[in-house]
């Protein structure tokens, strides 16, 4: 989980990388966070990091409850929004690794810098800062980090998810834990984390709406110990998360018109029966349930989950499932993955579509090896396969009228 530590923006060194002592300030002549680091939020990156302490309280609560469940959390993430998908599941769990308390301060001198450093909720924080700020005022963020939640897995395919996963883009694979407090102060001041946590608490202290945006207790965090398996009570706020992008897996192709009735004409009567059959190890039930999910028939469309079930149906010996998957791999140009699937269905049952798919894929690699599966498809009355056989046997010679379908 070092990547969560090392890839947070350089402008946040006051929080993560600097040693104890006075806060490091971003001076008014400093570039923006993105300009200073040379990196901007990229939701398409394989791994990215984001503060979540700037989310509204109810959204932060969702994040903390999800991670606190210990099950890996699936989200829809852009650089402006993070949404927990509560009914979508990824295989794996979190384990907590405690450290000694690390106090940090981030000070920003403009609303633009706030929005850059805190993209999920910084717009509201920046607006509050602008409404309150006078000349010579800066925004202060005090944090104490006491450990991190570490995911048991670090790469995921969309096809591996289960449940309702519409809109899923990332899995949270790590989280920094502790407490935080916000406030404002004079640009001439170098506040410590303790002073920021104390702002607005005692009578006569500087009043700011931002001082109400806090979570956890600095005093409670002082009890943190390296190697602890849980953060201290009142010091368990999620401060920042590491997000790992889902790989496309098998779900990158539009498949609404791909299957047709050929792969859905001999199955269970409804989704419940299909699921029961699949759970009992019957490949046909997995195939039918998968197709229903892929096409959105009688249930919400979920292509990644549907393709995962097709793969399971093939593993269970359902050759039509193998044939359907081979067609998907052919369509994606993933011949090394598609050829074994098509071979299985073609060799076991002479499935016409699988044999034709196999011929098409083998033709890309070694045209002569494609003749035999084309012949099998031709024998099953796939006329275009007959034409393919003639073309490969007599390159350059026009196909006969009889085989030219």
**Domain assignments of the chain as residue spans, ordered by start:** 2-245, 261-403
Q: Are 101 and 224 in contact (CB under 8 A)?
A: yes
The pLDDT value given to residue 227: 93
* CA–CA separation, 315 and 328 (whole Å): 16
Going along 155-200, which residue ranges are E strands?
162-163, 170-186
For residue 235, pLDDT over 50 is answered with yes
For residue 168, pLDDT over 90 is answered with no
Phi, psi of 154 (to 5 degrees): -130, 5
For residue 113, pLDDT over 60 is answered with yes
Among 207-221, 253-267, 283-297, 333-347, the range scoring the smallest mean pLDDT is 253-267
* CA–CA separation, 391 and 327 (whole Å): 22
* CA–CA separation, 194 and 183 (whole Å): 12
CA separation, residue 172 to residues 104, 175, 356, 390 (Å): 23, 8, 42, 54
Q: Which bin fits 4, alpha (ψ -120 to 50), beta or left (φ > 0)?
A: alpha
For residue 90, pLDDT over 60 is answered with yes
Q: CB under 8 Å to 16, separation ≥6 — which residues? A: 5, 8, 104, 145
* CA–CA separation, 13 and 11 (whole Å): 6
Q: For helices 335-349 and 319-332, give the axis angle rounded to 10 degrees.
A: 150
Cα Rg for the chain, rounded, in angstroms?
29
CATH architecture of the region 261-403: Alpha Horseshoe (1.25)
For residue 382, pLDDT over 60 is answered with yes
pLDDT band at 140 (very low <50, low <70, confident <90, very high): very high
Q: Are 239 and 145 in contact (CB under 8 A)?
A: yes
Q: What is the mean pLDDT of the chain?
A: 79
Residues in the chain: 405
For residue 303, pLDDT over 90 is answered with no
The pLDDT value given to residue 63: 95
CA separation, residue 382 to residues 54, 166, 282, 331, 357 (Å): 61, 37, 29, 19, 11
Which of the listed ranges 63-77, 191-205, 244-258, 282-296 does the model predict with the highest average pLDDT? Answer: 63-77
Mean pLDDT of 205-216: 78
Q: Which helix (H) or strand (E) holds 404?
A: none
DSSP letter for each residue of 369-382: GGHHHHHHHHHTT-
Mean pLDDT of 183-193: 89
DSSP letter for each residue of 14-67: TTTTS-SSSPEE--TTSPPHHHHHT----TTSSEEEEE-TTS-HHHHHHHHHHH
For residue 205, pLDDT over 60 is answered with no
Hey, which residues does 237 pair with through a beta bridge?
Answer: 178
Instruction: Tell me the whole-structure pTM to 2 decimals.
Output: 0.57
The alpha-helical segments, DSSP class H, found in 262-334 are 271-279, 283-295, 303-315, 319-332
């Amino acid at each position: 989980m070092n990547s969560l530590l090392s890839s947070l923006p350089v402008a946040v060194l006051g929080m993560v990388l600097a040693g104890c002592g006075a806060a490091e300030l971003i001076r008014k002549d400093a570039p923006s966070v993105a300009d200073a680091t040379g990196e901007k939020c990229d939701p398409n990156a394989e791994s990215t990091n984001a503060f979540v302490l700037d989310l509204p309280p109810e959204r932060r609560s969702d994040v903390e409850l999800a991670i606190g469940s210990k099950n890996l959390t699936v989200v829809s993430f852009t650089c402006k929004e993070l949404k927990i998908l509560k009914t979508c599941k990824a295989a794996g769990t979190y384990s907590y690794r405690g450290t000694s308390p690390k106090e940090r301060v981030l000070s920003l001198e403009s609303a633009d810098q706030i929005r850059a450093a805190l993209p999920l909720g910084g717009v509201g924080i920046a607006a509050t800062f602008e409404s309150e700020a006078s000349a010579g005022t800066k925004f202060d963020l005090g944090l104490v980090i006491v450990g991190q939640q570490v995911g048991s897995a670090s790469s995921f395919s969309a096809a591996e998810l289960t449940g309702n996963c519409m809109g899923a883009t990332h899995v949270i694979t790590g989280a920094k834990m502790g407490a935080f407090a916000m406030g404002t102060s004079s640009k001439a001041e170098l506040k410590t984390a303790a002073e920021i946590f104390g702002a607005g608490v005692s009578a006569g202290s500087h009043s700011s709406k931002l001082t109400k945006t806090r979570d956890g207790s600095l005093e409670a965090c002082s009890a943190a110990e390296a190697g602890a398996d849980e953060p201290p009570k009142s010091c368990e706020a999620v401060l920042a998360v590491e997000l790992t992008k889902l790989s496309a897996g098998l779900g990158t192709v539009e498949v609404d018109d791909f299957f047709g009735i050929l792969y859905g004409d001999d199955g269970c009567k409804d989704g419940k029966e299909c699921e029961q059959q699949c759970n009992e190890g019957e490949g046909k039930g997995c195939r039918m349930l998968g197709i229903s999910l892929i096409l959105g028939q009688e249930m919400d469309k979920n292509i990644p989950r549907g393709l995962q079930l097709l793969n399971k149906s093939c593993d269970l010996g359902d050759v039509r499932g193998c044939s359907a998957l081979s067609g998907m791999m052919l369509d994606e140009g993933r011949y090394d993955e598609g050829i074994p699937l098509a071979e299985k269905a073609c060799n076991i049952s002479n499935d016409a579509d699988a044999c034709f798919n196999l011929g098409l894929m083998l033709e890309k690699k070694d045209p002569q090896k494609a003749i035999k599966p084309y012949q099998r498809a031709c024998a099953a009355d796939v006329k275009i396969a007959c034409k393919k056989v003639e073309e490969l046997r007599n390159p350059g010679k026009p196909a006969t009228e009889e085989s030219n379908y």
